[in-house]
Amino acid sequence: MSNASTNLHGSYSYTDLKGVYYGPGSVEIALPKLLSVLGGKKALIVTGKSLYHKTDVVKTVENILKQHNAYGSTFYEIGEHAPIAGIRNGIKAYKECGADLIVSVGGGSPVDASKAIIWNLQKESGGEFAKQIAIPTTLSAAEYTVGAGFTNDEGDKVAVSRQELAPAGIILDAQLTLATPERLWLSTGLRALDHTVETLYRPLIPPPVKVLCYAAIADLFKYLPRSRANPNDIEARQKLQLASWMSLWPIRLEMQSALGLSHGLGHKLGATYHIPHGITSCLTLAPVVNLKAEVASKEDKEWLAGALFHLRQSSTGSLEGDVRKLASEIATLVENLGLKTDLAQYNVPRSDAPKIAERALGSKDDPIFPQVEQLLEGLFPPE
């Protein structure tokens, strides 16, 4: 079965990323190097309460900054889905400590909140955008994007996008992930898988980036179970951080496009019903891929079917069959990682399915609205 792209026209350009450092223990060397490259004199650390109070991860970063006279303060009021109240307080903390740089530590919420803080600071000043160094401890991959998602006062997920919002430096140190709770670590791995799979049918993405996604898919399938079996396996964790990078390869803003239906559903479910984004991917990705066997273009089906080769799975003999087989493999991975769940467990009313489908698609008039509504109903336990 060929997975060659039939679309032979396109373009590619990188973000303003100055460097990605990776490897166990790399933060000790990488953070000072990035401070020097970016010209940062004083950093505000942006993180979450659990990471700050329950682990030594933030203290490790604080000590490195202090050794280089670059520590300003630590702000840890960032909650899940980055509520706007936390962002406002983060802006205040940035100003009060005289920071000229942000070091985010944690998952997607601190990274996105830092982007939102930087965006609001620039709106106020009209000057240059502050820089961010991201030190992720999950696999959500927010550090590779130019967009910031946060939750407004009404509880809706909103987004801002600017080229300058992409972190200028990233440090992937697997040792700093050892304290990440297992369910968070594994479910954000599914979020990374969601990125890889949806990038295979994402508009404007050139073939080399899609081929990176195949490598990411293979590694996520291999190393997530290994990491669950042995949470202290540093090699598996480092491989997963690299897979997360490949899952959402940095591209410039003018090439950005929405990822896909699984992400669209996840954003609506996450913000409205307080479901972690890693868990929304566990819920929606396999059913969405299964739906793609029906509704996707031939080229998109070819890219999805091509993933089976990289998973060392044989073809079924048809494009549609191969796409459904990929969906089945994803569902099995979710179950084997202990992440299978349903919407009822998160108190989502079954009657909300049509509303969620409409919000994710933008209109009830979308041709696939009935299938998406049915997909959502399938995420509830049988009546």
Specify the CATH number for the domain of residue 149: 3.40.50.1970
One-letter amino acid for residue 240 of the chain:
L
Q: Final residue of a domain: which of 172, 197, 228?
A: 172
Percent of the chain predicted with pLDDT > 70 = 95
Q: Are 152 and 288 found together in one domain?
A: no
Q: Are 309 and 354 found together in one domain?
A: yes
Q: Are 343 and 370 found together in one domain?
A: yes
| 189-204 burial: b if 16+ Cβ within 10 Å, else e | bbbbbbbbbbbbbbee
Q: Are 62 and 200 found together in one domain?
A: no
CATH code: domain of residue 248: 1.20.1090.10
Q: Does residue 18 belong to any structural domain of this protein?
A: no
**Total structural domains within the chain:** 2
Least confident of 190-194, 247-251, 252-256: 252-256
Query: What is the mean pLDDT of the segment spanning 148-173?
Result: 85
What's the pLDDT at 15? 74
Query: What is the mean pLDDT of the segment spanning 212-226?
Result: 98
Largest CA distance in the chain: 63
Does the pLDDT value for residue 364 go beyond 80? yes
Please state, in angstroms and as integers, the Cα–Cα distance from residue 99 to each residue in 40, 127, 371, following that order. 9, 15, 50
Spatial separation of the C-alpha atoms in residues 383 and 331, rounded to whole Å? 21
- For 200-318, where are the alpha helices, taking DSSP H only? 207-229, 234-247, 261-273, 277-295, 298-310
Q: Final residue of a domain: which of 148, 172, 196?
A: 172
Q: Does residue 228 belong to any structural domain of this protein?
A: yes
The helices-and-strands tally (H runs, E runs) of the chain is: 14, 8
Q: Does residue 10 belong to any structural domain of this protein?
A: no
Q: Does residue 13 belong to any structural domain of this protein?
A: no
Does the pLDDT value for residue 1 go beyond 50? no
Q: Are 299 and 196 found together in one domain?
A: yes
Q: Could you say which DSSP state residue 139 is in?
A: S
Q: Are 201 and 254 found together in one domain?
A: yes
Q: Does residue 8 belong to any structural domain of this protein?
A: no
Q: Are 223 and 251 found together in one domain?
A: yes
Q: Are 133 and 244 found together in one domain?
A: no
Percent of the chain predicted with pLDDT > 90 = 80
Query: What is the mean pLDDT of the segment spanning 74-86?
Result: 82
Give this prediction's pTM: 0.93
Q: Final residue of a domain: which of 125, 147, 172?
A: 172
Q: Does residue 17 belong to any structural domain of this protein?
A: no
One-letter amino acid for residue 342 of the chain:
D
What's the pLDDT at 254? 60
358 vs 257, residue with greater confidence: 358
Query: What is the mean pLDDT of the segment spanning 206-214?
Result: 94
- pLDDT grade for 11, boundaries at 50, 70 and 90: low
Q: Are 88 and 161 found together in one domain?
A: yes
Q: Are 209 and 292 found together in one domain?
A: yes
Q: Are 239 and 360 found together in one domain?
A: yes
Q: Does residue 356 belong to any structural domain of this protein?
A: yes
Range of the domain at 362: 182-377
Per the CB < 8 A criterion, the answer to whether 24 and 178 are in contact is no
Expressed in angstroms, the distance from the first to the final Cα of the chain is 40
Q: Are 226 and 271 found together in one domain?
A: yes
Does the pLDDT value for residue 256 go beyond 70? no
Q: Does residue 156 belong to any structural domain of this protein?
A: yes
